[in-house]
Amino acid sequence: MDSFEQVIAEILWREGYWVRTSVKVELTKEEKRQIQLPSAPRWELDVVAYKAQQNSLLVVECKSYLDSPGVKMHGFDGSNEKAAGRFKLFNKSNVRDVVFNRLRTQLAEIGACSPSPSVTLCLACGRIASERDRSKLKEHFAEQGWQFWDEFWLRDRLKSMAAGGYENQVSAVVSKLLLRGRAE
């Protein structure tokens, strides 16, 4: 598991979600054929968070991109096929539908959620390439009904952790070390 995924999971836990990282979705042979990936291994989701009160799931794709130019709009608008390949759930509605339907079924069958939860796709990213990309990504995600969590979203939640009581979680400890005394 990636440490960025763990930070996102800890943030969601603090917000009242039951959280799992690196969730394997067991697609059937027929489902793999439906998404035109008949020999694909199990689909893996970075973070899945469940809020029982609302019977809702968040499926979070995590891209820290801390030492890169960052997430760009061309990964979502069809103008760059290679970049789009990194974001299959966002760019291939058939794949998204099949994976989410199997996830709902799989979690309900093991008692991890009530039947038929709503599912919201989210992108958590530590760096955006430009303000133009940020603006376009926010607009695109809002149009799709998805959630877009950038470094500002992350920083706000880490400040909240830093201001809170002691927790023996890496992200909470690091937040306190870096942000305590700086939080407004």
Rounded to whole angstroms, how far apart are CA atoms 150 and 30? Answer: 36
Q: Is residue 42 part of a domain?
A: yes
Give residue 58's domain range: 3-177
Q: Is residue 135 part of a domain?
A: yes
Which CATH number is 142's domain given? 3.40.1350.10
Rounded to whole angstroms, how far apart are CA atoms 62 and 153? Answer: 13
Q: Is residue 55 part of a domain?
A: yes
Q: Is residue 183 part of a domain?
A: no
Q: Is residue 182 part of a domain?
A: no
Q: What are phi and psi of 12, to 5 degrees?
A: -65, -35
Q: Is residue 152 part of a domain?
A: yes
Rounded to whole angstroms, how far apart are CA atoms 45 and 26? Answer: 11
Residue 179 identity: L
Residue from 133, 163, 167, 166 nearest 151 by CA: 133
pTM > 0.75: yes
Rounded to whole angstroms, how far apart are CA atoms 155 and 159? Answer: 6
Query: What is the tally of structural domains in the chain?
Result: 1
pLDDT tens, per residue, the chain with 184 residues: 468 899 999 999 989 999 999 999 999 999 999 999 888 888 999 999 999 999 999 999 999 888 889 999 999 998 999 999 999 999 999 999 999 999 999 999 999 999 999 999 999 999 999 999 999 999 999 999 999 999 999 989 888 876 666 565 655 556 645 555 554 4
Q: Is residue 36 part of a domain?
A: yes
Contact in structure between 77 and 140 (CB atoms under 8 Å): yes
